[in-house]
Structure 1
Amino acid sequence: MAANSVKIQGLLGMITVKLQDDNFTKWSYQFQFVLRGYDLFEFFTGESQCPPKYSMSTETGVTKEITVEYKEWEKKDLALLSLLIATLSDEAMDHIVGCKTSQEAWVCLQERFASVFVVQVNQLKSEFHTIQKGTDSVDKYLLKVKGIRDQLVSAGEKITDNDFIIDAISRLPPEFEVIKTVILARDSSISLKDFRAQLIGSERYI
């Protein structure tokens, strides 16, 4: 059990995002990714069931003796609950005060931030389809579009490389019309690396 406790404590340094009202998507993605990597997220989903608390006797039935399995499960679950709490802002923590298990706390957070999550995803979708290059360099513009795409993907949305390219190129200013035509007329897909290189090359020429 000591090894498990050390492992759980060590995970805190890998979770760099603290949950606030406006970053549930990022926080949830990072938290789940880290915990699943160590086969510990099942405590939050309820897949890891709590063992019977009291041992059974063939003669007397249920005894007052607490099982070793229950003690170990409870210690690990409390350690995970503590880990979760350490990743919350003061405001987010208010929503799980009174929760006794990691699953109970996770469900409370999901219920509280579910509507916020949907709104964030819709806002990101809108921004992804409307962001303009403006006075930014091509490199900066593509980084902005990629940043929004990464957030949408982490939220479960599927955006292919081709979707990214079509979306990014469609909102370039008129001076990029030639390179837009060349890329869109291709009979084979272009990698993101080559796409970026061609746009930057065109920008220098312009």
Structure 2
Amino acid sequence: MVTLCRKDNNFLKWQYQIEFFLEGYGLFGHFDGSTIAPQKFAVLDEEGVTSEVTTGYKEWLRTDKALMSFVIATLSDDTIEYVSDSKTTRDAWLSLSNPYAMMSHAQISHLKTELQKAKKGGDSINKFLLCLKHIKDQLSVAGISISNDDLMIVALNGLPSEYDMIKTVLIALDTSISFKEFHTQLLTAE
């Protein structure tokens, strides 16, 4: 089930829930465009295109409208404006995604700067890494990919001097570790 109401500040969490829910029911194709509407009007050899709406189109339209209602039910009052002109779930999905995928160069530069300047300070390791992941996710929506290795380097650079020993150990490793292992190592050091 989708537990989040889509607001201006939680697009990625909402998107994550919506995608998994719909993929589980085999319905995400209406959103990503892979489920294309069948031909609307029947074509008869001798008559050509008729005014008779095909059964396939009626079923597709019924499903699409039900999915559109589902999406609208998960939107806050502020975000419903994004989809008010949408005729299909595909249109609605694009309208909801585009404001976040179309970040300005200044916004992207600001997020990159935040990532590079991030410091743990008095926060817990969990809170610090969650903050870094949030910035990484925002950049990802804008099409900027940050690898987990790069994120780990940023995290190490943001740690205070009392973490120097674990920083040295993690930097000296011969092989890459997963972000989960990295997180566990930092929690142990904390």
TM-score range, shorter chain: 0.7 to 0.9
Residue 4 of structure 1 aligns with which residue?
A: none
**What SS does structure 2 have at the residue aligned with 1:39?**
coil
TM-fit CA distance, 1:154: 6.9
5 Å-filtered alignment, 1:78-93, equals 78-93=65-80
SS of match in other structure, 1:63: strand
> Please, which of 35, 58, 76 is the counterpart of residue 22 of structure 2?
35
**Is 2:173 aligned against 1:186?**
yes
Q: For residues 41-190 of structure 1, what are the structure 2 equivalents within 5 Å? A: 41-115=28-102, 124-149=111-136, 157-190=144-177
Contact 1:24-1:117 within 8 A present in 2 as well? no
1:201 & 1:67 partners in 2: Cα distance? 63
Q: Which residue identity lines up with residue 49 of structure 2 in the other structure?
A: V
**What TM-score comes out, normalization by structure 2 length?**
0.75
What CA deviation, in whole Å up to 9, does each residue of 1:22-79 have, x standing for no partner? 3333333432343234332222333322223332333333334332112111111111
Inter-partner Cα distance in structure 1 for 2:152 and 2:98: 35
CA distance in 2, matches of 1:21, 1:177: 38
Question: What RMSD, in angstroms, separates the aligned Cα atoms of the two structures?
Answer: 3.2
CA shift, 1:174, in A, is 1.9
* TM-score (ref. length: structure 1): 0.70
For 1:66 and 1:133, the matched residues in 2 are separated by 61
CA 1:151 to 1:17, structure 2 compared with 1: closer, same or farther past 3 Å? farther
Between Structure 1 and Structure 2, how many residues are aligned?
190
Partners of 2:94 and 2:51 lie apart in 1 by: 31
Unmatched 5+ stretches in structure 2: none
Aligned-partner SS, 1:62: strand
Whole-Å separation in 1 of the counterparts to 2:126 and 2:186: 9
Call closer, same or farther: CA 1:196–1:78 in 2, change over 3 Å: closer
Q: Which has the larger radius of gyration?
A: 1
**Distance between the aligned counterparts of 1:141 and 1:67, measured in 2?**
55
Range with greater deviation from structure 2 (96-105 or 70-79): 96-105
> How far apart, CA to CA, are the structure 1 residues paired with 2:182 and 2:100?
37
Counterpart of 1:8 in structure 2 is none
Aligned 8 A contact 2:102 2:142 in 1 = no
Name the SS for the 2:21 alignment partner. Answer: helix
The one-letter amino acid of 1:129's match is Q
Question: Is the contact between residue 25 and residue 117 of structure 1 (CA under 8 Å) also seen in structure 2?
Answer: no
